[in-house]
Structure formats: structure tokens, C-alpha cells
Amino acid sequence: MKKIRMTRCRRRLLDMVGLVVAILFLVTGVKAVQADADTTVTVRLHKVLLDENDTTTKYDNQGTELPIDDNFLLNGAGFTVYDVTTLVDSGATESDLYQLNDTYGASYFDDKGLKVATEITGTTGTKGLATFQLPEQSNGQYAKYLIIETTHPAIAKLEISQPIFLTLPFSSDVANPIHLYPKNYQYVRDPYFYKHGKDSQGNDLGVLAGASFRLYKVDATGQKLYLHEDRLDNDNQWVDVTNPKVTIMTSDNKGLVTTGNHWLPIGEYFFEEVTAPNGYQITDAALKVKVTVPADSTQPVTITVDGKTTTMPDAVVDNLRGELPQTPGQPPQTPAGTLPITGEQLLGYTALGGGLLLLIILLICKRKQHLETNPKEIGGDTR
């Protein structure tokens, strides 16, 4: 009887232990699932602005942080993250998502209530950066996100970046945070020309170094605005000519004049020479060298000098050696005061003096002859 009671007690004890273990398992299991659901991933977008003709600069989206020049980063671009996990589960592929965006835009994903967050690059103080904290899971599984550029700053002619499809986990080789590099390509040009010297007969004297230029554009009111030496958010600044930081571009030892790191969008611009090399004079044509950046990116930039339009490889702006020729119809300017006597002037004065002296001698001789012929005129009556 005692043995039976002990067996029953052990069974009850074992049942209670089992129940406690089951409760603990359930509790810890729920906590583990909840922890996974609350896990977030930091995604850092670095907004890159490149020239459309740039084929050398590469920023691949491998998830790692890359060294990048601030000059290539762009503030003011807005990005929106959409949770597309349900769409992918329904069979949508990455290319399908891109096609939906191309056809309907981000509004398609907005209408389905898939928006997670929106950020604008540069608002946190780091140039070109937008940071997102995204849930690692969606509906109990690893999340899939589509990151779309929904706004961008109005600078030049800017092509919007392609969407980024992000599947979690990103990679076992990439630690949190994940670094991505959406890229914009801007249609801009870097015009240039060559500086040459010429003599008064129009002969080409070769390339000239040391000629300085400013670049200006004309606004809607007719005011000249000059290129500032500093860029602001990857865009050029245009200021009054009195600004001390107007950009000065100087021809190099090959005679080349460029805009340096200032790329020009569609429009008309004018180079204006301000300093000529030693021994040369600035011509009227060099005061207004017109640059045209066409709207059609397949067409070349043109340079117009003194009414003649050429493309950049052939564009030449001249300086004249020595003094400029006298403008027709204007008398030469002479300094005030007494001028020195030249050789021709001295010869004329000598001839005039000799003529006067000869005239005086002739008059004296004639007078003497007359007195000898008429002695009465000397001393009166001789009677």
C-alpha cells in the first residue's frame, strides 16, 4: 500500500515538473519569437551624384561602407521605403517591382499601404546621408523592401536614381548597418577652349599661358551673374561681379582654359577675359566668348568667338601682341607741354633762317647802291 502511494506521488511530481517545463518552454518560446520580430536593421543610404558621361566612378551596393568624396554626395533627395514582402510572396519578382514603379510610380505602393518610412538626405548633418531603421521581419518572415527616390533637388537636368530592392538578411559577410549607394546622373558639360597669341598681321604665335577669365550668365532681368568659386549642394552658385570669390580661370601652359570642377547644365554662358599675358592686349572678342550647352545630350557644346561658332576641340581665343592698332577716324593722342625738336623740324628752321639772312643782305646791298647813285640824300644840298 505504501509503495502504491509513493508511485502516485512520483507521478504527480513528474506531472507537475512536466507542466512547469511546458510553461517555461512556451514562455521562453514566445519571448524568442517576439525578440526576432522586434529586431531592426540599420540601412544607410549615401546619395551619389555623377556626370552622365562618367564611366570610371563605381559605387557598388555590396552593403559595406566605401570611401567617397563629399563633392559626389547630394543633399535634398527624398527616399521612401516600402515593405513589399506580401507582393513577393504573391509571386512578384524584382523586375516586376521595377516595372510597377516605372509604370505607376511610387503611388502604386502608397495606395496599397506599403510605405514604411521616408527620409531626406543631408537632414541629419551628414552630407548625402539618409538613415532608416527597418524591421528585420515582416509577417513572421524575413522582410523584403523596395527603396524608391520620390523627390530630388531641382538642380540642372537630373535623372532620378533606380529603385533598390533589399532582401533581408542582406549577407552573412555584411554586419549591421547596411550601406547602399543610390546614384543620380546629371546632364552637365565642362566647356573649354585654347588661348593663342597673334601679331598685328594675324599670324598665329602659338599657345598662351596666364590669360585669366571669368564666367557669367545673364538672368531674366538682363543682369550678369558670375560663377562663384564654391559649389553649394553640388550646384553652381552665381553672384554679382563685386563678390570677392568670383571664380578666375587661367590658361595653362598648353593654352587650355576650362571651368575646372564646375560643370555647366543646359544654357548659354560667356567667358570674359580680365587679364592678358605680358606683352599682349585683350581683344573685344575675348571679352565675350559665348558657350552653348544644348538640351540634346547627343549634340556637342559650341563656342562662339567673334561671330564664328566652333565645337570645343577647335575653339581658339586670341590675344594681340603689343599695342592694339589705332582706331580709324581717331587722331593720335599727344602729351601736353613742349615737344622736342625733331631732325626734320631743325632742317626747316635752318632753311628759313638762311633765307631771311639772304634777304637782309640783298636789301642792304640794294640800299647802298641807291645811296651811291643819289648822293644828295646824304648830308643834304652840296652846293
The pLDDT value given to residue 44: 96
Whether residue 191 contacts residue 301, with contact meaning beta carbons closer than 8 Å, is answered with: yes
CB 266 within 8 A of CB 293: yes
**C-alpha distances in Å from residue 243, one per residue of 227, 246, 248:** 10, 6, 12
Q: Which residue has the higher pLDDT, 348 or 108?
A: 108
Contact in structure between 115 and 81 (CB atoms under 8 Å): yes
pLDDT of the residue at 82? 98
Q: Does pLDDT of 153 surpass 90? A: no
User: Is the Cβ–Cβ distance between 112 and 83 less than 8 Å?
Assistant: no
Phi, psi of 80 (to 5 degrees): -120, 135
Q: Are 178 and 204 in the same domain?
A: no
Instruction: Examine residue 141 and state whether it is found in any structural domain, yes or no.
Output: yes
Closest CA to 202 of 111, 325, 99: 325
205 and 301 co-located in one domain: yes
Q: Which of 163, 187, 211 is the last residue of a domain?
A: 187
Classify residue 287: in a domain, yes or no.
Answer: yes
61-101 pLDDT, tens per residue? 889 999 887 778 888 899 999 999 999 999 999 999 999 99
* For residue 10, pLDDT beyond 60: no
**pLDDT of 296 above 60:** yes
Which of 267, 302, 321 terminates a domain? The answer is 321
pLDDT tens column, 104-149:
999 999 999 999 999 999 888 888 999 999 999 999 999 999 999 9
Residue 344 has pLDDT above 60, yes or no: no
Q: Where is pLDDT greater, at 194 or 232?
A: 194
Q: Which residue range forms the structural domain that includes residue 171? A: 38-187
The answer to whether residue 326 is domain-embedded is: no
More confident residue, 53 or 81: 81
- 49 in the same domain as 172: yes
User: For residue 311, what pLDDT band results from cuts at 50, 70 and 90?
Assistant: confident
Q: What is the DSSP string of 26-47?
A: HHHHHHHHHHHHH-EEEEEEE-
Given this model, what pLDDT does residue 127 score? 87
Asked if residue 202 and residue 165 are part of one domain, the reply reads no
pLDDT of 365 higher than 80: no
216 and 124 in a common domain: no
The single residue listed with the C-alpha cell 532620378 is 160
Q: Is 44 among the domain residues?
A: yes
Please state the rounded mean pLDDT for residues 1-13. 51
Beta strands at 192-198 and 316-321: parallel, antiparallel or unpaired:
parallel
C-alpha cell at 244: 570677392
At 264 the pLDDT is 87
The answer to whether 75 and 128 are in contact (CB under 8 A) is yes
Give me the number of domains the chain comprises: 2
Query: 264-291: per-residue pLDDT in tens?
Result: 888 999 999 999 999 999 999 999 999 9
Pair 316, 261 in one domain = yes
3-state secondary structure 108-173: HHHHCCCEEEEEECCCCCCCCEEEEEEECEECCEECEEEEEEEECCCCCEEECCCCEEEECCCCCC
pLDDT digits 0-9 by tens, 196-231: 999 988 899 999 999 999 999 999 999 999 999 987
The proportion of the chain whose per-residue pLDDT surpasses 70, expressed as a percent, equals 71
Higher-confidence residue of 223 and 2: namely: 223
Percentage of the chain surpassing pLDDT 90? 45
Gap between the Cα atoms of 226 and 237, Å rounded: 8
Q: Any idea what the CATH number is for the domain that residue 216 is in?
A: 2.60.40.10
Does one domain contain both 144 and 62? yes
Position 375 in a domain = no
Confidence band, pLDDT 50/70/90 cuts, at residue 373: low
The verdict on 143 and 221 lying in the same domain is no
- Is residue 366, in this structure, part of any structural domain at all? no
pLDDT for the residue 274: 96
Give the residue from 305, 321, 337 where a domain finishes: 321
Same domain (yes/no): 46, 167: yes
Cα gap 81→114, rounded to integer Å: 8
pLDDT at 295: 79
Helix (H, G, I), strand (E, B) or coil at 10: helix
- Calculate the average pLDDT of the chain: 79
Please report which confidence band the pLDDT of residue 24 belongs to, taking 50, 70 and 90 as the band edges: very low
Residue 6 located in a structural domain: no
Nine cell digits for residue 77 = 533627395
- Mean pLDDT computed over 45-51: 86
Residue 342 lies in a domain: no
